[in-house]
Structure 1
Amino acid sequence: MTFAVTVGGRSVECAGDQALLDACLRAGVWMPNSCNQGTCGTCKLHVVSGEVDHGDSPEETLTADERAAGMTLACQARPRGDVELRPQGSAAAKAVNPLRDLTATVLEVSDIARDTRRIVLGLDEPLAFDAGQYVELTVPGSGVRRQYSLANTADEDKALELHVKLVPGGAATEGWLFSGLAAGEAVEVSGPLGDFRLPDEADDVGAPMVLIGGGTGLAPLIGIARTALRRHPDRDVVLYHGVRGESELYDLARLSDLERDYANFRFVPVLSHEPADGYREGFPTDAFVEDIPSARGWSGWLCGPPAMVEAGVKAFKRRRMAPRNIHREKFTPADA
C-alpha cells in the first residue's frame, strides 16, 4: 500500500514500510538530510496533517515533547496514511539529484595511509550528485548499510572514489572492505545523500573558503575544494587536514598539484599526537585560529569526528564567520 506524502506543495508516493525521506529523495524532492541514521536530527520536520510511525527514532534525537508537538525524523518515520510535511525554518522543497540504487564494479582497492584505503567503484551509467555528498554501500549477505563520502567532483560521475578508515570490529570495514574486497567484485550502492555541498553555481559568488577535515573527513573536502576553484580560480581557499601522525596523511601529491595550479589555494596538514619535521603540530581548528585573523565574509566547511566539528564551529565563530556560512558533516560511528 502506498500513501501520498506532500512537501512544499509537491506530492510523492511513499510505501507504508518506506521512510519519508527515502521516498522524497527518490522522487527528486529535496528534504534536509545528513546522517540518515536518526542521530543528527537534520531531517527533523513538522507533520502538518496525517500520522506517522516514528520507527526507530532515538529519544535523544526526537524527544517525547517534540513528538507530541508534531515533529518527526523523516529518515526514520513511515506514513500511516496520507501525510503533509513542512521542513523546519524557511526551507522549502526543491529539485535535487534523485536517490538511486545501482550496482557498481570495484575498480581499485589501495592502501593510501595507515589503516586507510582508497576504493574506486565503476558505474555503467552516471550517478548525478554534488561534490561533498555521500553514498551508502550494502555489506553483502547482511543487509548492513554504511555511508562513505565521495571525493569526486560532479563531472566524475562514473568512477566513485571513497576514502575508508578501518574500524576494529566494523561490519563493513574489518569484515569486508579490509578483508578481501578486490577489483572486479560487484557492490550495491545507493546515493546521492547528504546536504554537505556547495551552493548552486549561480549562487556561488566566489567568496573565500576554509575547509577543515579530520582523518577521512578529507574526502568530501577534496571534491568541494576542486569544484570551488574551478568555478572561481582566483578565490582564496585554505584546506586543513588533521590526523594523529604523518603515516595517516594521504593525497599529498594531489593537494600539492592544486597548490601549483591555483595560486590562492593553500593546504595545511596538522599532526595532533605524533610530531614530525616539516608539519604543524596540534589541532587543525587551532591552526586556523592562528592563521586567519578574520573570517568575516568567508564560508567554512567541517568534516570529521564530532568533537573536531564542534571545535571548528567555535573557531569559525571566534573569527567572525556568519553562522549561516558554516557547513558541517559529522562522521558518527554506526553504533552511536
Structure 2
Amino acid sequence: MTFAVTVGGNSVECGEDQALLDACLRAGVWMPNSCNQGTCGTCKLHVVAGEVDHGSSPVETLSDEERCAGMALACQARPRGDVELRPQGTSAARTANPLRDMVGTVREVSDIARDTRRILLGLNEPLTFDAGQYVELVVPGSGERRQYSLANTADEDKVLELHVKLVPDGVATHGWLFDGLAEGDEVDISGPLGDFHLPPESEDDGGPMVLIGGGTGLAPLIGIVRTALRRHPAREVVLYHGVRGEEELYDGDRLTELAEQHPNFRFVPVLSHEPADGYREGFPTDAFVEDVSTARGWTGWLCGPPAMVEAGVKAFKRRRMAPRNIHREKFTPADA
C-alpha cells in the first residue's frame, strides 16, 4: 500500500513501510538530511496534515513535546495515510540528485594510513551526486547499513572513492571491509545522501574557504576543495587535517600537488597526540585560530568527530564567520 506525501508543492508516493525521506529523495525531491540514522535532527519537519508512525525516532532527537506539536524525523517516520509535510526553514522543496540503489564492484582495496583504507567501487552506470555527499553500503549477511563519504568530484561518477577507518569490533569494518573484502567483490550501495556540499556553481561567488577534517573526515573535503578550485582557480582556500599521529596522515602528495597548481591553496596537517618533526602540533581548530585573524566573509566546512566539529563551529564564530556560512558533517558512530 502506498500513500501520497506532499512537500513544497511536490507529491510523491510513499510505501507504508518506507521512510518519508527515502520516498522523497528517490523521487528527486529535496529534503534536508545528514546522518539518516535519526541522531542529528537535520531532517526534522512539520507534519501539516495527516499522521505518521515515528518508528525508532530517538527521544533525544525528537522529544515528546515535539511529537505532540506535529514534528517528525523524515528519516525515521512512516506515513499512516496521505500526509503533507513542511521542512523546517523552507516553504518549498527543490530538485535533488535522486536516491538510487546500485551494485558496485570493488576495484581497489589499499591501506593508506594506520587503520585506514581506500576503497574504490566501480559502477555500471554513472551516479549523479554533489561533491561532499555520501553513500550507504549494505553489510553482507546482516542487513546493516553504514555511511561513507565520497572523496570524488561530481564528474568522477563511475568509480566511487571511500576512505574507511577501522572501528574495533565494527560490524562493517572489523567484520568485512578490513577482513575479507577483495577486488571483484560486489557491494550493494544506496546514494547519494546528505546536504554537505557546495552551493550550485551559479551561486558560488568564489569567496575564501576554510575546511577542517578530522581523520577520514578529510574524504568529502577533498572532493569539495577540488570542485571549489576548479570553479575559481585563484580563490583562497585553507584545508586542515587533524589526526593523532603522523601514521594516520594520508593523501599528502595529492594535496601538495594541488597546492602547487593553486598558489592560494594551503594544506595544513596537524598532529594532536604524537608530535613529529615538520608538523604542526595540537588541534586543527586551534591552528585555524592562530593562522586567521578574521574569517568575515569566509565559508567554513567541518567534517569528522562530533567534538571536533563543535570546536570548529566555536573557532569559526570566534573569527567572525557568519553562522549561515558554517557547514558541518558529524561522523556519528552507528551505535549512537
Query: What range describes the TM-score normalised by the shorter chain of this pair?
Result: over 0.9
Indicate how the Cα distance of structure 1 residues 91 and 307 shifts in structure 2: closer, same or farther if over 3 A, else same.
farther
Q: Superposition pairs for residues 50-65 of structure 1, below 5 Å?
A: 50-65=50-65
> Which residue is 2:148 aligned to?
148
Runs of 4+ in 1 over 3 A off after TM superposition: none
> Which residue is 2:71 aligned to?
71
RMSD across aligned positions (CA): 0.4
The gaps in structure 1 that reach 5 residues or longer are none
Please, what TM-score do these two structures have when normalized by structure 1?
A: 1.00
CA–CA distance in structure 1, aligned partners of residues 108 and 89 of structure 2: 42
| Deviations, residues 10-51 of structure 1 (Å, cap 9, x unaligned) | 000000000000000000000000000000000000000000
CA–CA distance in structure 2, aligned partners of residues 177 and 89 of structure 1: 38
| Deviations, residues 134-157 of structure 1 (Å, cap 9, x unaligned) | 000001111010000000000000
AA matched with 2:325: N
The gaps in structure 2 that reach 5 residues or longer are none
CA–CA distance in structure 1, aligned partners of residues 46 and 207 of structure 2: 34
AA matched with 2:253: A
CA–CA distance in structure 1, aligned partners of residues 333 and 90 of structure 2: 30
CA offset at residue 180 of structure 1?
Answer: 1.1
Q: Quick check: 1:305 aligned with 2:305?
A: yes
Please, what TM-score do these two structures have when normalized by structure 2?
A: 1.00
> Which residue is 2:231 aligned to?
231
CA–CA distance in structure 2, aligned partners of residues 90 and 285 of structure 1: 31
CA–CA distance in structure 1, aligned partners of residues 13 and 262 of structure 2: 46
CA–CA distance in structure 1, aligned partners of residues 91 and 241 of structure 2: 32
Contact (CA 8 Å) 2:109, 2:183: kept in 1 or not?
Answer: yes
CA–CA distance in structure 1, aligned partners of residues 89 and 185 of structure 2: 44
Indicate how the Cα distance of structure 1 residues 209 and 177 shifts in structure 2: closer, same or farther if over 3 A, else same.
same
> Which residue is 2:206 aligned to?
206
> Which residue is 2:173 aligned to?
173
Give me the identity figure in percent: 83
> Which residue is 2:102 aligned to?
102
Q: How many residues align?
A: 336
CA–CA distance in structure 1, aligned partners of residues 141 and 281 of structure 2: 43
CA offset at residue 118 of structure 1?
Answer: 0.1
Q: Quick check: 1:278 aligned with 2:278?
A: yes
CA offset at residue 90 of structure 1?
Answer: 2.8
Q: Quick check: 1:17 aligned with 2:17?
A: yes
CA offset at residue 125 of structure 1?
Answer: 0.4
AA matched with 2:47: V
Q: Secondary structure at the match of 2:297?
A: coil
Q: Secondary structure at the match of 2:75?
A: coil
> Which residue is 1:222 aligned to?
222
Q: Secondary structure at the match of 2:227?
A: helix
